[in-house]
């Protein structure tokens, strides 16, 4: 994320257009398919990529290749913060949703938003979802080094801490959404942060075991 974070910040903040794939939103059914919403920002919705190469589409295909019946809806909004995700939570995660992959916080960091504010928003998102009996996988984000040690100490742990708070309500944690991709120019677009299609492949491969566990927990609770 890392070396070009300041240069990218202006790009990210400018890209505040909605990227929701409403046609793929979950709906109640008895077909046995686990309905997942990927609630996030441009990293979720695939900024700069065809929709077929974005994280939700590739994750759905990876699950299908393992014989897992799941549909991952794209509820990513480019430029969105944790507070923005909270504000649109009710209509971004419709009734009938079984689980949410929560990927927010990168834009909070890029804008230098107080980590306390980010923590509060992430916590409230997870609280509301778990009250609806929706399983949540909280994806961590890491602060860029140029923001300083104090910011990193406040920002980096908040995702794990929120997930731990709601662990008894079916919330789990994935340490870093960009694991294996951040800082690698071969896996990122020229802006230095948004993954290329091969970069998304790496994200999907690394998060897949956690998503399989998420789905198993959903099925166990049914």
Task: Using a pLDDT cut of 70, give the percent of the chain over it.
Answer: 86
Cα–Cα distance measured from residue 90 to residue 70, given in angstroms and rounded to the nearest whole number:
21
Q: Are strands 171-174 and 34-40 parallel, antiparallel or unpaired?
A: unpaired
The reported pTM is 0.88
17-34: per-residue pLDDT in tens?
333 443 344 444 446 899
Kindly give, in sequence order, each residue whose CB lies less than 8 Å from that of residue 48, ignoring residues fewer than 6 positions away: 189, 191, 194
How does DSSP classify residue 67?
T
203-217: per-residue pLDDT in tens?
999 999 999 999 999
Per-residue pLDDT at 163: 98
Per-residue pLDDT at 31: 64
Which neighbouring-strand residues pair with 136? 100, 171
What are the 10-residue block averages of pLDDT along the chain, 222 residues in total? 36 37 42 94 98 98 98 98 98 98 98 98 98 98 96 98 97 98 97 97 98 97 86
Number of domains in the chain: 1
3-state secondary structure (DSSP) of residue 18: strand
Cα–Cα distance measured from residue 139 to residue 73, given in angstroms and rounded to the nearest whole number:
16
Cα–Cα distance measured from residue 174 to residue 70, given in angstroms and rounded to the nearest whole number:
19
Per-residue pLDDT at 222: 83
Distances (CA, A) of 37 to 59, 136, 190: 11, 10, 28
Per-residue pLDDT at 27: 42
Residue 116 lies in domain = 5-221
Q: At 16, which CATH number?
A: 3.40.50.1110
- Match 């398919």 to its residue by tokens: 33
CB contact at 8 A, 177 and 105: no
């Amino acid at each position: 994320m890392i070396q070009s974070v300041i240069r990218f910040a202006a790009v990210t903040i400018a890209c505040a257009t909605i990227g929701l794939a409403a046609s793929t939103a979950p709906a109640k059914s008895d077909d046995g398919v686990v309905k997942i919403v990927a609630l996030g920002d441009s990293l979720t919705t695939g900024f700069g990529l065809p929709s077929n190469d974005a994280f939700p589409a590739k994750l759905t295909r990876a699950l299908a290749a393992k014989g897992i019946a799941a549909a991952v809806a794209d509820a990513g909004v480019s430029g969105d913060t944790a507070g923005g995700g909270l504000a649109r939570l009710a209509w971004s995660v419709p009734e009938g949703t079984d689980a949410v992959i929560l990927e927010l916080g990168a834009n909070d960091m890029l804008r230098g938003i107080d980590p306390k504010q980010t923590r509060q928003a992430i916590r409230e998102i997870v609280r509301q979802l778990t009250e609806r009996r929706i399983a949540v996988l909280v994806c961590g984000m890491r602060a860029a080094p140029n923001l300083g040690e104090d910011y990193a100490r406040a920002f980096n742990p908040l995702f794990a801490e929120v997930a731990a708070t709601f662990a008894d309500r079916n919330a789990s944690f994935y340490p870093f959404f960009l694991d294996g991709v951040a800082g690698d120019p071969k896996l990122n677009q020229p802006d230095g942060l948004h993954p290329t299609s091969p970069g998304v492949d790496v994200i999907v491969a690394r998060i897949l075991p956690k998503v399989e566990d998420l789905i198993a927990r959903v099925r166990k609770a049914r």
